[in-house]
Amino acid sequence: EGFDIVIGNPPYVRQERIKEIKPILKNQGYKTFLSTADLYVYFYEKGYKLLKNKGILCFISSNKWMRAKYGENLRKFLKGNTKVLKLIDFSGYRVFAQTVDTCIVLFKKEKGEENRVTFAVVNSDVQNPIEYVKETWKLLPQKKLSSRTWILADEKILALKEKIERIGKPLREWDVKIYRGVLTGFNEAFIIDTETRDKILANR
């Protein structure tokens, strides 16, 4: 019938490095598939499929899927198919030595239309994340999680956001041009380890 629990830390592998398996992922019918998605996205759906009904999944992974375009299908999938029990967003807080911002997701394999998500946001200046999370749990209706982006905030802030969106004019509708500067996919040249960073800073 499936597993009671699936728990893990799925690998972070950028979409540029999985080009050869993208057709396989697409042909296997992943609902979370997007050609620009990081590999860990598919682990969420695979974990869900491995669970029995009302089973529990807990992952620690990159938090980029909560806001990035490539996470849109995953956001829709989780909102529509699971009951998100707890969500911790380490927004700037370094859980691991790597430069990846992380999150912890705990969900149950059942519909969560009327569910209220227990969440916490841990910023970079937090000294004791475990105690901080225990003291700052908040609740958010799961139906308030948008497929465009998952914003973790209390209902007053979300109501204000909805009001601004309702009466405001989106940036894309303004007659302006926005320039992003130089873009590169050559990460090896721009993402450095701590030792290299320290050497550069020491020579300032």
The pLDDT of residue 122: 92
How far apart, in whole angstroms, are the C-alpha atoms of residue 97 and residue 111? 36
The pLDDT of residue 196: 81
CA torsion through residues 116, 9, 66, 125, sign: positive
CA torsion through residues 50, 18, 9, 107, sign: negative
How far apart, in whole angstroms, are the C-alpha atoms of residue 110 and residue 48? 10
Other CB atoms within 10 A of residue 154 CB: 11
112 HSE (CA, 13 A, CB side): 27
Tens digit of pLDDT at every position of the chain (204 positions)? 899 999 999 998 888 888 899 999 999 999 999 999 999 999 999 999 999 999 999 999 999 999 999 999 999 999 999 999 999 999 878 887 766 789 999 999 999 889 999 999 998 888 898 999 999 999 999 998 888 888 887 767 767 777 777 788 877 788 888 777 776 666 666 677 788 888 888 887
β pairing state of 51-62 and 3-8: parallel
pTM above 0.85, yes or no: no
The pLDDT of residue 187: 66
The helix/strand count (H/E) of the chain reads as: 7, 6
User: Which among 87, 126, 123 is positioned nearest to 106, based on CA atoms?
Assistant: 87
The pLDDT of residue 29: 92
How far apart, in whole angstroms, are the C-alpha atoms of residue 183 and residue 192? 17
The pLDDT of residue 173: 82
The pLDDT of residue 135: 94
